[in-house]
Amino acid sequence: MDSKKALLVVSFGTSVTQTREKTIAAIERHLAAEFPDRKLYRAWTSGVIRRKLLKTEGLQIDSVAEALDRIAADGAEDLLVQPTHLLDGEENRLMIEAIRAAADRFASVKIGAPLLSTAEDLIAAADIVNEVCPDLGGDELFVWMGHGSAELLDNVYVALNFLYAREGRDNICVGTVEFDPGFAPVEEMIVRRSPRRAYLMPLMVVAGDHAINDMAGDEPDSWKSIIAASGVEPVCILRGLGEIESVQRRYAEHAKNAAAL
């Protein structure tokens, strides 16, 4: 390992311990293995989650600014940053701003892209269904729960629905827990197909609070409960994208592409 070379993996974070190890930590381990010459550092962008974990678990996790201070103090000169963000949204842009503000402390700074950044990324994401639910029957549905955004980034969810429709896979769709398109694509698919069963999985890096509560919770407004009330059997898959090896490899590809620039 070269003490002058650093790899900073930046995540939003999660307070759910079991998914943290399976997703964020798994991505970090994969990236560390792909870049054995770089020292691995971690930063989370959510101050709320960092403070909660410090209070409940005594776990200290750096912010982006704190991680950059630590890396500079360790004497690194060549910095490669790979976010585990799904999209280039507000969290990713704030990360980039913080890194650019500290860029003069390093001889070289490269930043990898979020998971869904190109058309090729979207096609790869659409095919994840084949890995997690390969034997999807004609009377079954597969439903992705995305987070959603107030920005035009929601086009990513629309684009995924378009890809499935174009491929004739009209028993797979993407909805969002916040903002558009919301639950509407799921509801429309249930009405159109009258399925027997629906598999639900978060289109999120971690299977955190949204997945546990909004998707798979027992409250009447959870997606599981709404789908069950329509006469369809819901089956919840509490796996974050970060658990999937093809996703981990995708992040590594983005990091390698950035390092090669």
Which residue out of 30, 85, 147, 210 is catalytically annotated? 147
Q: Exposed, middle or buried: residue 56 (CB in 10 Å: 0-12, 13-18, 19+)?
A: exposed
Q: Is 30 a catalytic residue?
A: no
- What residues are labeled active site? 147
